[in-house]
Chains A and B, each alone.
Chain A
Amino acid sequence: DIQMTQSPSTLSASVGDRVTITCRASQSIGTWLAWYQQKPGKAPKLLIYKASTLETGVPSRFSGSGSGTEFTLTISSLQPEDFATYYCQQYNSYSRTFGQGTKVEIK
């Protein structure tokens, strides 16, 4: 299985901050990477796929970059509704795997 490791596990930030979350794959996955946002008690929501393609309707303050083994999700100006847990997911291999999650908390 390809292991996905996110950092940090928890991030404290304020409204308006620029926030960056990193996801590393245990082997190269090209750009076969997606990012999700999950709020407590809710299903995840797809934000980005193919490493940098913004899903329809997702605000442009979200962006993704990277290829190979290292990827980033950036929120350019954190909004109150962005406090949530974020997951990366690879879909390069036979078995799709997720990172362990990064919780974005209010500072």
Chain B
Amino acid sequence: QLLLRESGPGLVNLSETLSLTCTVSAGSISDYYWNWIRQPPGKGLEWLGHIHYSGGTNYNPALKSRVTISVDTSKNQFSLKLSSVTAADTAVYYCARGLGGCGGDCYISWGPGTTVIVSS
């Protein structure tokens, strides 16, 4: 059973860069698509982007100028950077693995989520 866990600062200052890492265990990152999804308090889900283990990326057009996702196969990790954060970026951030049956575009394994608050 693949396990994912998000880690990173729970508080980020306004206009700075949010950085999170997802560590994959009980399995290899060297397959599939790896995603970041967020959920503002009391609201719905927003897909941020994904990366293939080979390094290819695809980002949500609404956030494309601010999002960077990278992968480190040697550490079985992938990471999210979101620049120039505002209060609207306050959310629970999830990492998730894409399901092959959906071409990687629906999400079968999720981390427990990590709360990030943007502070002024």
Q: Which residues of A contact B (CB under 8 A)?
A: 1, 32, 34, 36, 42-46, 49-50, 53, 55, 87, 89, 91, 94-101
- The CA of A100 and the CA of B112, in the complex, are separated in Å by 20
Q: Which residues of B contact A (CB under 8 A)?
A: 44-47, 58, 60-62, 94, 96, 99, 101-103, 105-108, 110-113
Asked if A44 and B47 make an inter-chain contact with CB atoms under 8 angstroms apart, the answer reads: no
The residue on A at minimum CB distance from B45 is A98
- Neighbour of A94 across the interface among B58, B99, B102, CB < 8 A: B58
Asked if A53 and B44 make an inter-chain contact with CB atoms under 8 angstroms apart, the answer reads: no
- The CA of A100 and the CA of B40, in the complex, are separated in Å by 12
Would you give the shortest CB distance from B58 to chain A, in whole angstroms? 7
Known contacts: A43-B112, A95-B62. The answer to whether A49 contacts B46 by CB under 8 A is: no
- Give the interface SS of chain B, mostly helix, strand, loop or mixed: loop
Give the number of residue pairs across the A-B interface with Cβ within 8 Å: 60
Would you give the shortest CB distance from A63 to chain B, in whole angstroms? 17
- Neighbour of B94 across the interface among A1, A43, A55, A101, CB < 8 A: A43
Asked if B102 and A34 make an inter-chain contact with CB atoms under 8 angstroms apart, the answer reads: yes
- The CA of A87 and the CA of B58, in the complex, are separated in Å by 22
Asked if A95 and B102 make an inter-chain contact with CB atoms under 8 angstroms apart, the answer reads: no
Would you give the shortest CB distance from A32 to chain B, in whole angstroms? 8
Residues of A within 8 A of B46 (CB): 98
- The CA of A43 and the CA of B113, in the complex, are separated in Å by 7
Asked if A49 and B45 make an inter-chain contact with CB atoms under 8 angstroms apart, the answer reads: no
- Neighbour of A34 across the interface among B94, B106, B110, CB < 8 A: B106
